[in-house]
Amino acid sequence: MKLIASLTSPFARKVRVVLHEKRIECQLEVDIPWDAETHVPDYNPLGKVPVLVFDDGHSLFDSRVIVEYLDSISPVSRLIPQDNRQAVNVKRWEALADGIEEAAANIFIEKKRPAALQSADWISRQQVKIDRGLKAMSDDLGERLWCSGDSYSLADIAVGCCLAYLDLRFAHIDWRAAYPNLERHFEKLSQRPSFAETVPPAS
């Protein structure tokens, strides 16, 4: 089994953190979908990372599908609760974090275009999603120790990867000053070996 991933992708990092927490051995193959020589489309017709490839060549793609599969194959450190209502809440947190990352990635890609072709309206629309998403994240976390329930879960992993991605690509967004509870939570998550060992390279 191998994971095809970009080291800067927050979606791929989420999977890498889960692999670490679940103590699942998995080969890492770094591949950048934007590169001309990329092999990502050979495994994912959508041309996106991460992709989990099995020994028989079968593949799973979309980080949400991959992490749910990984959580199901090992009893170590259950990250998605077995109770359906609690599981849905965890997945809701994941969707919120992923949505912020998608909006941020849209801005990042748009700003790679020539200045004359960039859409200020499009960038503004994505920024609003980030701003609203961060507020919702902070409001929902409140003063609790963990995002969902009484223990560490996939919700916390998703939030940690999301905030780290903003630091990587959008250092000008001062989410720490606006949301000190998110800062405290992020610092706590950053101390975990699974996060410390998957820090993305500086852009």
- 203 pLDDT band (50/70/90 cuts)? low
| Interval 147-176 mean pLDDT | 97
- Residue-wise pLDDT for 125-154, tens only, equals 999 999 999 999 999 999 999 999 999 999
- Residue-wise pLDDT for 177-190, tens only, equals 999 999 999 999 99
Output the pLDDT for position 202: 84
Q: Which residues of 190-201 are buried (b: 16+ CB within 10 A; e: fewer)?
A: eebebbeebebe
**pTM for this structure?**
0.97
| Interval 54-71 mean pLDDT | 97
Q: Give the architecture-level CATH label for domain 2-73.
A: 3-Layer(aba) Sandwich (3.40)
Residues 24, 67: Cα–Cα separation, whole Å: 12
Q: What percent of the chain has pLDDT over 70?
A: 100
Domain ranges of the chain: 2-73, 84-192
Output the pLDDT for position 8: 97
- Residue-wise pLDDT for 14-61, tens only, equals 999 999 999 999 999 999 999 999 999 999 999 999 999 999 999 999
> Degrees (nearest 5) of the Cα angle 154, 104, 155?
10
Residues 199, 13: Cα–Cα separation, whole Å: 8
125 alpha-carbon distance from chain centroid:
21
Q: Give the architecture-level CATH label for domain 84-192.
A: Up-down Bundle (1.20)
Residues 12, 88: Cα–Cα separation, whole Å: 21
| pLDDT, averaged across the chain | 97
Q: What percent of the chain has pLDDT over 90?
A: 97
In the structure encoding, which two tokens stand for residue 21, read together? 């927490």
**83 near 150, Cβ under 8 Å?**
no
Output the pLDDT for position 100: 98
